[in-house]
């Protein structure tokens, strides 16, 4: 099999999770930290072929995972490095999605919620290209998740350098990690013109009764430390569904996501509705609902018409 960089990275990240303790999506993206402090946190990610979407810009899911990691790092500066966090709400304003090269997230605590029963903080993030061009900014409300295990993690350095021989990282067939390997193989073999990450982290068109939209199944390649779908990937898959109902080429400028329940069920349907369609803007509402009828996220996206359209 002619292995793509995305496939190789997907296998390397399995071993990296075991040795570095971070979530699978974070290790797949090779996110690493330059600075972690109560005042400012800086993280980096290399945008390469493994995380490029089919339109040659970074996958929205990858971009959202990077933003989520930056925001959570700022929260841990206040709540403690061992804190397990739950994202309650996330907003991102996007100026431009990069196509290649390094990107930097600078995050900090905006303020704390002192009268809440759980530890909770507002954090903010700014994302830049390596040359300093602003790409996006956002903020989140994050709280300690007391039901999760405490963490013992360190940042992943450079996965390709550490694990150059992907074959050595193939997991045992009877392990849960083998499910990631199978998902990577399926993405590698699926010949539908999409990039690897658009197949590896993807929702598929589906219909059932009067409903038609996008559906995705919970998988190890999508999961956070608790085994639920990662919040950043939820953001990205909802963005995929929202983008499908607007004119081609329009770009997401603003988004707001409320996280209502953990994505712990078998599969999830994404329901979209156009709230407003103007000459230069489209507003789309997204709801992600599990097969058990549980509401997972409620999101709103604002798209802008490009100058060239």
Rounded to 5 degrees, what are φ and ψ at 89?
-150, 145
Q: Are 219 and 177 in contact (CB under 8 A)?
A: no
Smallest Cα–Cα separation from 100: which of 135, 148, 139? 135
Measured over the CA atoms of residue 23, residue 25, residue 30 and residue 35, the dihedral's sign is negative
Q: Are 201 and 233 in contact (CB under 8 A)?
A: yes
| Residue-level pLDDT, tens digit, the chain, 309 residues | 567 888 888 888 887 776 655 688 988 998 888 877 778 889 999 999 999 998 899 999 999 999 999 998 888 877 776 677 889 999 999 999 999 899 999 999 988 888 777 788 999 999 999 999 999 999 999 988 765 544 444 554 554 455 555 556 678 888 888 999 999 999 999 888 789 999 999 999 998 888 889 999 999 999 987 889 999 999 999 999 999 999 988 999 999 999 999 999 999 999 999 999 999 999 999 999 999 999 999 999 999 999 876
pLDDT of residue 33: 82
> What is the rounded distance in angstroms from the CA atom of residue 238 to the CA atom of residue 232?
10
Smallest Cα–Cα separation from 28: which of 228, 223, 227, 259? 223
Alpha-carbon torsion angle 19, 227, 261, 211, nearest 10? 130
pLDDT of residue 160: 47
Domain coordinates in residue numbering, the chain: 203-309
Smallest Cα–Cα separation from 283: which of 257, 256, 263, 301? 301
pLDDT of residue 168: 60
pLDDT of residue 164: 55
CB atoms within 10 A of CB 115: 6
pLDDT of residue 2: 61
Q: Are 258 and 89 in contact (CB under 8 A)?
A: yes
Rounded to 5 degrees, what are φ and ψ at 11?
-80, -40
pLDDT of residue 151: 47
Q: What is the pTM of this model?
A: 0.90
Both tokens of 289, joined, read 């609902």
Identify any residues that bridge with 223 across adjacent strands, giving them in sequence order.
229
CATH H-level superfamily of 203-309: Hotdog Thioesterase (3.10.129.10)
Strand ranges for the chain from DSSP E: 32-36, 41-47, 85-94, 101-112, 120-129, 134-144, 204-208, 211-217, 251-259, 267-277, 281-290, 295-304
Task: Please give the distance of CA 18 from its chain centroid, rounded to a whole number.
Answer: 20
pLDDT of residue 141: 95
């Amino acid at each position: 099999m002619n292995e793509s960089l995305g496939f190789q990275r997907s296998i390397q990240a399995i071993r990296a999770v075991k040795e570095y303790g971070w979530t699978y999506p974070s290790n797949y993206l090779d996110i690493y930290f330059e600075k972690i402090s109560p005042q400012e946190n800086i993280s980096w990610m290399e945008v390469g072929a493994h995380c490029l979407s089919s339109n040659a810009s970074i996958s929205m899911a990858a971009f959202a995972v990077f933003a989520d990691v930056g925001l959570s790092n700022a929260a841990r500066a206040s709540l403690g490095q061992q804190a397990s966090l739950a994202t309650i709400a996330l907003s991102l304003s996007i100026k431009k999605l990069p196509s290649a090269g390094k990107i930097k997230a600078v995050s900090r605590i905006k303020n704390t919620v002192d009268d809440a029963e759980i530890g909770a903080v507002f954090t903010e993030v700014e994302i830049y290209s390596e040359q300093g061009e602003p790409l996006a900014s956002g903020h989140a409300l994050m709280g300690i998740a007391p039901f999760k295990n405490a963490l013992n993690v360190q940042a992943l350095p450079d996965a390709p350098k550490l694990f150059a021989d992907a074959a050595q990282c193939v997991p045992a067939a009877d392990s849960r990690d083998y499910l990631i390997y199978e998902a990577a193989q399926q993405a590698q073999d699926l010949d539908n013109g999409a990039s690897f990450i658009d197949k590896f982290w993807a929702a598929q068109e589906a219909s059932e009764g009067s409903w038609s939209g996008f559906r995705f199944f919970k998988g190890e390649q999508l999961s956070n430390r608790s085994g639920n779908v990662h919040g950043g990937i939820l953001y990205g898959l909802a963005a995929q569904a929202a983008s499908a109902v607007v004119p081609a080429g329009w770009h997401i400028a603003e988004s707001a996501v409320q996280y209502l329940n953990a994505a712990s069920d078998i599969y999830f349907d994404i329901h979209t509705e156009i709230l407003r369609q103007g000459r230069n803007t489209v507003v789309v509402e997204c709801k992600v609902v599990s097969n058990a009828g549980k509401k997972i996220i409620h999101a709103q996206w604002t798209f802008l018409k490009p100058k060239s359209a």
